[in-house]
Amino acid sequence: MKTYFHVDMDAFFVSVEELFDPSLKGKPVVVGGRANQRGVVSAASYAARKFGIHSAMPLRTAYRLCPQAIFVDGHPERYRDYSRKIFKVLKNFSPQVDMASVDEAYMNITGTERLHGPPLRAAHRLHEAVKQETALNCSIGIAASRMVAKVASDQAKPNGILWVVPGEEARFLGPLDVRKIPGVGKVTEKNLQAWGIRKVADLAALDEAFLTTHFGQWGLALAGKSRGLDAGGWFDGEVGDNDGPKSISHETTFNEDTADVDTLESTLARLSEMVGRRLREHELHARTVQLKLRYSDFSTITRASSFDHATQLDTEIFRAARDLFRKNWRSKATVRLLGVQASGLEAGEGQLNLLAEDKTNRWRRAFTAMDHIRDKFGEDSVSLANGMKGRFRERVHENPTGLPGKTPGEDS
């Protein structure tokens, strides 16, 4: 039987900010932007959460709930730095670690008893090691499945450890609201409640055929999760497999809607750089580039185009995104949001002609050098000239560049 840890940092972004500004401790703090800006809450301190503020809430809503809160733009470079420190601590406890995001990780600690002791003792040792190395608190869930470990870490917050002993999964999960199951959002919760399913025990009592009929393949995954099994989505693979992403995207919402073509195209250049960097981190190449364009009235279009060869070069991604933009933008119409996505991901770029290969190699060397500069001095330290006017503060999100464990060679 396997043993998994789910390690989740407590109010990670806020806690890092408090290390650099101790005056924030104990106060309602919101990370993600200013109170009058568009965008959403990336993290809220426990003091802010008492007012009903939570992640993904619009910043302006958070301000209405708690006008006295301190709103912080956030510092992604700091979060990446501390995430790397945490990753190194975790790797000292197990070679099988997956960073699910910048502030949470799954660990397979099966077979490490001789080194670290039984699961609960190992968790306490890990808990202390993270605190000693980073001065940050974390919560740890322990279980025979990653799904239950994740739920357990959430129940252990803040700064706690919870072990769901094998065989006790149903008793642990049963009384919990269905929204506690990873992957169950507001829409799914509402649909389940329409059938009288409010607790995990209600879900576990249903026949798989009923769930499949009404929820398709997701219904089968729900049935498995309700019994404490790893099923669907993230849980399809094994910890340490690191299959890589199916697509890579970045988007930004403008603080003020704009119809300035230079600003819009420059923003596309910056987004293309961010996508290209993450492609290189994963050693992947994209066959397809997709543009996301949202106007002031919230109407949104997506358009895609494919290359005759796969690429990971910022310049090629940008040209494709710009061409899509020029073909589909309603001239002088104000834009609220732009996004660039790369999909059709492959390990290689395919066959190029000799002239194109020479040019591609020169660009590849240039972008590799730029990546090294960003690793050392930050994401905004170097950029294409096309992207200078479109510079924007990087939003804190779950798939940042430089995520530990996702960069080739960083597992050592």
Helix ranges (H only) for 6-145 are 12-20, 46-49, 59-65, 76-91, 113-116, 119-134
Q: Count CB-CB contacts under 10 A for residue 254.
A: 20
Cross-strand bridge partners of residue 253: 337
Write the CB contacts of 175 (distance below 8 Å, at least 6 apart in sequence). 199, 200, 201
Told to judge if 104 belongs to the known catalytic residues of this protein, a careful annotator would answer yes
Compute the Cα dihedral for 220, 225, 227, 229 and give only its sign: positive
**Strand, coil or helix: 133:** helix
The 3-state DSSP class for residue 53 equals: coil
**Crossing angle of helices 354-377 and 261-281, rounded to 10°:** 90
Q: Which helix (H) or strand (E) holds 211?
A: helix 208-226
3-state secondary structure of 177: strand
- How does strand 138-143 pair with strand 248-258? unpaired
As a whole number of angstroms, the distance between CA 328 and CA 141 comes to 48
Region for 262 from its dihedrals, namely left if φ exceeds 0, alpha if ψ lies in -120 to 50, beta otherwise: alpha
Please tell me which residue in 104, 169, 265, 316 is annotated as part of the active site.
104
DSSP-based three-state secondary structure for 392: coil
Supply the residues annotated as catalytic: 104
